[in-house]
Structure 1
Amino acid sequence: MNLSDLTSVEISALDRETTVVVVPLASTEQHGPHLPIGTKSFLVESIAFAASARLRSEQVECLITPTVSFMPCQSSAGFTASFAMGARTYSDALYDIGSSFSRDGFKYLYFVNLSLSPDAIKAVSVAVEDLNTLRDFRAFDPLPLWNYSPNEALESYLRERNIDPASEIHADIKDTSAALHLDPELVRSELLPGLPACLINTSWEVLKGNFSFQEMGSKDGYLGSPSLADPELGRIYIAEAAFALAEAINYTLEGNELPELPLQIRMLLKMVDLDEM
Structure 2
Amino acid sequence: MTQRSVLFRELRAPELRDLARPDTVVMLPVASMEQHGPHLPVGTDSMLGHAVCERAAKLLVEERPALVMDTIWTGLSEHHMAFGGTVTLDFSTFHKLIHHICRSLQRHGFRRIALINSHGGNISALQTITEEITRDLDLPIVTATYWTLAQHLLAPHLLTQKGIRHACEAETSMVMHLFPDLVDRSALAAARCPDARDHRADDTEDGYRWLSFAEKSPSGALGDPTVSTAGQGEVLLDIAAAHLARRLADPSFWGPRAGD
CA distance in 2 between partners of 1:249 and 1:237 (Å): 18
Where structure 2 has 5 or more consecutive residues not aligned to the other structure, the ranges are: 1-5
- The yes-or-no answer on 1:232 pairing with 2:231 is yes
Aligned CA distance change for structure 1 residues 234 and 132 (closer, same or farther; 3 Å): same
Question: Is this contact kept in 1: 2:150–2:243, CA < 8 A?
Answer: no
- The yes-or-no answer on 1:187 pairing with 2:180 is no
CA distance in 2 between partners of 1:139 and 1:171 (Å): 29
CA distance in 1 between partners of 2:64 and 2:18 (Å): 15
CA distance in 2 between partners of 1:255 and 1:197 (Å): 38
Q: Please tell me the residue identity of whatever aligns with 1:225.
A: D
CA-to-aligned-CA distance 1:207-246 (integer Å, 9 cap, x gap):
3735332222x11211110121111221122112212321
Question: Is this contact kept in 1: 2:28–2:71, CA < 8 A?
Answer: yes
Match of 1:137 among 129, 136, 139: 139
TM-score by length of 1: 0.81
Q: Please tell me the residue identity of whatever aligns with 2:73.
A: S
* Deviation, structure 1 residue 157: 2.6
CA distance in 2 between partners of 1:255 and 1:194 (Å): 43
Provide the aligned C-alpha RMSD in A. 2.4
CA distance in 2 between partners of 1:143 and 1:20 (Å): 16
Aligned CA distance change for structure 1 residues 204 and 47 (closer, same or farther; 3 Å): closer
Q: Is 246-255 or 222-231 further displaced after alignment? A: 246-255
Question: Is this contact kept in 1: 2:20–2:108, CA < 8 A?
Answer: no
CA-to-aligned-CA distance 1:182-219 (integer Å, 9 cap, x gap):
12112111222443333223359953735332222x11
Aligned CA distance change for structure 1 residues 252 and 215 (closer, same or farther; 3 Å): farther
Aligned CA distance change for structure 1 residues 24 and 187 (closer, same or farther; 3 Å): same
Question: Is this contact kept in 2: 1:21–1:110, CA < 8 A?
Answer: yes
Q: Please tell me the residue identity of whatever aligns with 2:161.
A: D
Q: Please tell me the residue identity of whatever aligns with 1:125.
A: Q
Question: Is this contact kept in 2: 1:171–1:222, CA < 8 A?
Answer: yes
TM-score by length of 2: 0.85
CA distance in 1 between partners of 2:179 and 2:199 (Å): 33
- The yes-or-no answer on 1:147 pairing with 2:143 is no
Tell me how many residue pairs correspond in the alignment: 247
Question: Is this contact kept in 1: 2:37–2:191, CA < 8 A?
Answer: no
